[in-house]
Amino acid sequence: MDPLRPEQLTKEEICTHYGDEYDRHLGAIVPPIYQSSLFTRKNVNHGYTYTRVSNPTTEVAEKKIAALEEGEEARCFSSGMAAITAALMSVMEKDCHVICPLNVYAPTKVFLETYMAKFGVETTFIAGDSVEEIEQALRPQTKAIYLETPLSNVFTLQNLRAIARLAKANSIVTIADNTWATPLYQNPLTHGIDLVVHSATKYMGGHSDVMAGVMVGSRSAMEKVTHQERGLFGAVMDPHQASLLIRGLRTLPVRMRQHQQSAMQAAKFLEEHPLVERVLYPGLASHPQYELAKEQMAGCSGLFSFVPRGSKAQIREFVQRLRWFQEGPSWGGFESLINTPGLWIDEETSQKTGVPIGLVRVSIGLEHTDSLLEDLDQALKGM
């Protein structure tokens, strides 16, 4: 038994101690890795049978994340996409309709518009920043509204509370990807959202060495997922993954403070730089949804985008000149990364998606902030 209920604990205390149950594990300060596929029960009724269904190590991570998200229960998956697809499939049925922002994480969009289309599922893609647009997209067969706030690359927000009210009035399930803000800075369930998903590969893991996903929601929804979308499809987190995720959660609060502090400095530096046209970061007062960001988020993470002033060739040169920023599509780890979605689109795609040509996305890591600013400055000037 945990000595305190999660609502009595700070986020830091949840990350460091909640769910660890020291007495249960012989006083071990780090929960043991139950690297076992099978749990026999001839002489003891402990509640475990098979790791695809449940595992003591994985449950520690699930308890911590559920408490951080202020949800009843969580279920861990082998990747973020496993959690996302399980959440969607737990709601959808043949020939139903889903509403989703156009600039959602690309594999999520592909899953909806190609794979689920095989089962007659139709998806209406909208900008996402207008509740009225979502209301106009509703159909009698709409089963889910999928959200990701802020959105990949463009960093526009959706009004969680208003959308949740609209959905509940129409008996529609809402799902929100909360990877960017983490449970420390945003809790969609408290705004009325039904299910929250994360790519725990990112900030929760924090060390770029674990693939992990998680879903959080009501106890009944999680029990259903355990035996259906997770249990039947088998995309369960293994105990070793869970141990790495638990390790990452221990330092999540201190890492997120540094990510936020450095990212804010970098975003302001770039916003004032003569060789930068535009910065897209909800933490900046110049962001068009800055007031909504303050209303539904307690902070910002270290991922944002900006548009350098230059041709595609010059921007490619800028990327090559960077010393501390490695180029790669992921984010949320200790290392600073850069990605270039705006170099692979044409004018028509830019107009359709709202992604500016030349847009560069940066993940601010844990290196010294001054070193990162100096690196960005020298690479911009060297274009």
Mean pLDDT of all residues belonging to the chain = 95
Provide the pLDDT for residue 43.
78
Looking at the structure, tell me whether residues 191 and 211 fall in a common domain.
Answer: yes
Looking at the structure, tell me whether residues 312 and 221 fall in a common domain.
Answer: no
What is the widest separation between alpha-carbon atoms in the chain? 72
Looking at the structure, tell me whether residues 128 and 258 fall in a common domain.
Answer: no
Looking at the structure, tell me whether residues 244 and 274 fall in a common domain.
Answer: no
Q: Could you write out the DSSP letters of every residue in 157-171?
A: ---HHHHHHHHHHTT
Looking at the structure, tell me whether residues 229 and 266 fall in a common domain.
Answer: no
Q: Is residue 2's pLDDT more than 60? A: no
List pLDDT tens digits, range 271-301. 999 999 999 999 999 999 999 999 999 999 9
Q: Which residues pair with 38 in a beta bridge?
A: 50
Q: How far apart are CA 360 and CA 186, in angstroms?
A: 25
The answer to whether residue 127 is domain-embedded is yes
Q: Give the residue ranges of DSSP H helices in the chain.
A: 11-16, 56-68, 80-91, 106-110, 131-137, 160-169, 182-185, 219-227, 239-250, 252-271, 290-296, 312-321, 347-353, 369-381
List pLDDT tens digits, range 119-147. 999 999 999 999 999 999 999 999 999 99
Q: Which residue, 229, 250, 271, sits at the end of a domain?
A: 250
List pLDDT tens digits, range 58-111. 999 999 999 999 999 999 999 999 999 999 999 999 999 999 999 999 999 999
Provide the pLDDT for residue 3.
60
Q: Which residue, 217, 250, 283, sits at the end of a domain?
A: 250
Q: Which residue, 200, 231, 250, sits at the end of a domain?
A: 250
Average the pLDDT over 214-240 and give the result: 96
Weakest-pLDDT range from 13-17, 43-47, 295-299, 303-307: 43-47
Looking at the structure, tell me whether residues 173 and 309 fall in a common domain.
Answer: no
Q: Of 228, 209, 161, which is closest to residue 335 (Cα–Cα)? A: 209
CATH number at residue 322: 3.90.1150.10
Looking at the structure, tell me whether residues 302 and 281 fall in a common domain.
Answer: yes
Q: Is residue 57's pLDDT more than 50? A: yes
Average the pLDDT over 246-253 and give the result: 98
Tokens (6 digits) for 381: 């000037």
CATH number at residue 105: 3.40.640.10
List pLDDT tens digits, range 16-44. 999 988 888 888 889 999 999 998 988 77
Looking at the structure, tell me whether residues 298 and 158 fall in a common domain.
Answer: no
Identify the domain containing residue 184 by its residue range. 6-250
Weakest-pLDDT range from 12-26, 262-276, 358-372: 12-26
Provide the pLDDT for residue 141.
98
The answer to whether residue 279 is domain-embedded is yes
Provide the pLDDT for residue 6.
83
Looking at the structure, tell me whether residues 112 and 148 fall in a common domain.
Answer: yes
Q: How many domains does the chain have?
A: 2
Provide the pLDDT for residue 9.
93
Looking at the structure, tell me whether residues 278 and 236 fall in a common domain.
Answer: no
Which helix (H) or strand (E) segment holds residue 124: the answer is: strand 122-126
The answer to whether residue 1 is domain-embedded is no
Question: Is the bond into 150 cis (omega within 30 degrees of 0)?
Answer: yes
Provide the pLDDT for residue 1.
43
Looking at the structure, tell me whether residues 155 and 296 fall in a common domain.
Answer: no
Q: How far apart are CA 65 and CA 345, in angstroms?
A: 37
Q: Which residues contact 264 (CB under 8 A, 6 or more apart)?
A: 281, 283, 300
Average the pLDDT over 231-245 and give the result: 96
* Four-CA torsion 64, 336, 311, 127, nearest 10 degrees: 10
List pLDDT tens digits, range 151-196. 989 999 999 999 999 999 999 999 999 999 999 999 999 999 999 9
Dihedral (CA of 243, 245, 248, 250) sign: negative
pTM of the model: 0.95
The answer to whether residue 327 is domain-embedded is yes
Looking at the structure, tell me whether residues 168 and 189 fall in a common domain.
Answer: yes
